[in-house]
């Protein structure tokens, strides 16, 4: 039997009353596991048909999310490495479902590692718009960047800064902001021993203070008329309804969105705050005794203001010069990029006639359109990593392969699932196709680059990503 902190149990019993026995029982049950289809790679119906062997069941609050049979181990599949899906705790899928990011919007994921909500937003955006994903801790930011690449995100920028360090670069810039705030992790107790060991009332208080600071920064980067989703994986009222109550008290231009909910979500509890603000009932909770998922809290907020006036201001901002990144103007590099695209992926129309090429050292990136100048900001990935500059020539990057589809490329090597496992392990594959950079795929999902040489496909899967499946 899993032991929870005594003070936590006492508080939850007081809060839940008659519900507590059900809650306590659910905390001893096995957790469910989930994965989410990557709509950048395939559509939902094709995915369900292809991966029915995983024992998929629909997650109520996420049309692109599924529970799966843990014995199938989808994380050990080459399709996971190919970014066909993202393994994600089911409750966490509700965050982006509630926010509903749209193609062409400017989205910020402020506390983004390891990348579940970022990749969910990218999937919904369809490669259009700007997605800035930030993580303050460098090691976690690198993992975030790897997941952005694996999922084939074309319009993602990964930064590693404190929230207040981002504010000067993006004042009133974003249409939607995700704040999945660092919290005391009470909702993860039944699956995370470390969360149980680190819990204390003092840590709850510290988390609540930090969450207010993060929310303040998020608010200043959201445009008038924009929406912000706040989420935690804790039950603590100080970090949930209490956090939103304090935020609304100090930000009178924000309000709780009342006309948006999702199946399986329970109402927030205004009575658990000092002020009892009624609109907190329109925030949301996921309870393990009422739904299949770990504990979560979500609040969807809207910033007041005339978005039409703001859009006119944004159009004027687009026409300004000198306030964006310093794009590549070297004709030789631009010509090489054009030739590379024409040679290896002539069907990728989204790469043609682009002006947002950016040299990051000797690495060539394609930035999302309308990016502001980010000089001085710690950026791990300023956009889609397209190529490496090697001895005055360009070699296509692994991230470019991850973002491409078979029909967009000149040459394709289609592997079986077993061959794909060997490819991911770094092996060369027997292949007698046309010479040149070749997109390696498994069942239509891109894995990386190979090059034909002497009847073998030379393996260009990054050494740092190779592993035995």
Annotated binding site for S-adenosyl-L-methionine: 111-117, 135, 164, 180
* Identified catalytic residue from 153, 233, 345, 413: 233
Are 174 and 224 in contact by the 8 Å Cβ rule? The answer is no
Residue of 176, 166, 104 lying closest to 368 (CA atoms) = 104
With H, G, I as helix, E, B as strand and everything else as coil, classify residue 345.
Answer: coil
- Cα separation, 230 vs 372, in Å, equals 25
- Cα separation, 97 vs 459, in Å, equals 38
Residue of 218, 182, 211 lying closest to 303 (CA atoms) = 218
Beta bridge partners of 456: 430, 453
- Cα separation, 32 vs 72, in Å, equals 13
Tokens of 315: 């159009």
Establish whether 207 is a catalytic residue: no
* Residue 464: half-sphere exposure toward Cβ, Cα within 13 Å: 5
468: region left, alpha or beta (phi > 0 left; psi from -120 to 50 alpha): beta
DSSP for 406-444, written as a single string: GGGSS-EEEEPHHHHHHHHTT--EE--S-SSEEEEEETT
- Cα separation, 446 vs 448, in Å, equals 6
Tokens of 423: 């490819």
| Cα Rg of the chain, angstroms | 23
| Beta-sheet strand order (sheet of 429-430) | 412-415, 437-442, 445-453, 456-459, 429-430
Tokens of 256: 């709780």
Are 401 and 448 in contact by the 8 Å Cβ rule? The answer is yes
Beta bridge partners of 359: 364
Are 134 and 159 in contact by the 8 Å Cβ rule? The answer is yes
Q: List binding-site positions.
A: 111-117, 135, 164, 180
Residue of 387, 345, 393 lying closest to 366 (CA atoms) = 387
Catalytic amino acids? Answer: 233
């Amino acid at each position: 039997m899993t032991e929870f902190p005594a003070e936590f149990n006492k508080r939850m019993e007081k809060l839940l009353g008659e519900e507590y026995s059900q809650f306590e029982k659910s905390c001893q049950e096995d957790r469910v596991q989930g994965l989410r289809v990557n709509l950048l790679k395939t559509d939902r119906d094709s995915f369900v048909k292809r991966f029915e062997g995983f024992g998929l069941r629909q997650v109520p609050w996420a049309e692109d999310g599924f529970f799966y049979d843990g014995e199938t181990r989808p994380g050990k599949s080459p399709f996971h490495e190919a970014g066909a899906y993202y393994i994600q705790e089911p409750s966490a899928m509700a965050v982006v479902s509630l926010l509903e990011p749209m193609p062409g919007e400017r989205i910020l994921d402020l506390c983004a590692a390891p990348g579940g909500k970022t990749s969910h937003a990218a999937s919904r955006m369809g490669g259009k718009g700007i997605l800035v994903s930030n993580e303050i801790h460098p090691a976690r930011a690198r993992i975030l960047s790897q997941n952005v690449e694996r999922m084939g995100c074309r319009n993602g920028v990964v930064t590693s800064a404190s929230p207040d360090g981002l504010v000067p670069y993006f004042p009133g810039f974003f249409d939607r902001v995700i704040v999945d705030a660092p919290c005391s992790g009470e909702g993860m107790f039944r699956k995370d021993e470390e969360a149980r060991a680190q819990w204390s009332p003092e840590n709850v208080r510290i988390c609540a203070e930090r969450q207010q600071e993060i929310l303040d920064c998020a608010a200043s980067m959201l445009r008038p008329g924009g929406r912000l989703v706040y989420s935690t994986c804790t039950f603590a009222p100080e970090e949930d309804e209490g956090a939103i109550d304090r935020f609304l008290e100090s930000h009178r231009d924000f309000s709780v969105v009342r006309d948006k909910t999702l199946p399986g979500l329970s109402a927030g509890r205004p009575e658990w705050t000092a002020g009892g603000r009624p609109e907190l009932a329109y925030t949301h909770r996921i309870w393990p005794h009422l739904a299949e998922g770990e504990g979560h809290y979500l609040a969807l907020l809207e910033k007041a203001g005339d978005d039409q006036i703001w859009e006119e201001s944004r159009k004027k901002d687009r026409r300004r010069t000198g306030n964006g990144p310093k794009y590549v103007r070297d004709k030789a590099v631009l010509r090489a990029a054009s030739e590379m695209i024409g040679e290896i992926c002539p069907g990728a129309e989204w790469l043609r006639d682009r002006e947002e090429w950016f040299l990051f050292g000797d690495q060539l990136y394609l930035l999302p359109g309308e990016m502001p100048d980010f000089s001085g900001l710690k950026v791990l990935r300023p956009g889609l990593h397209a190529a490496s500059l090697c001895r005055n020539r360009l070699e296509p990057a692994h991230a470019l392969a991850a973002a491409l589809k078979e029909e967009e490329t000149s040459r394709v090597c289609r592997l079986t699932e077993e061959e794909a496992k060997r490819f991911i392990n770094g092996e060369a594959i027997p292949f007698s196709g046309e010479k040149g950079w070749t997109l390696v795929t498994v069942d239509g999902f891109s894995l990386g680059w190979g090059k034909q040489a002497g009847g073998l496909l030379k393996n260009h899967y990054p050494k740092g990503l190779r592993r035995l499946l």
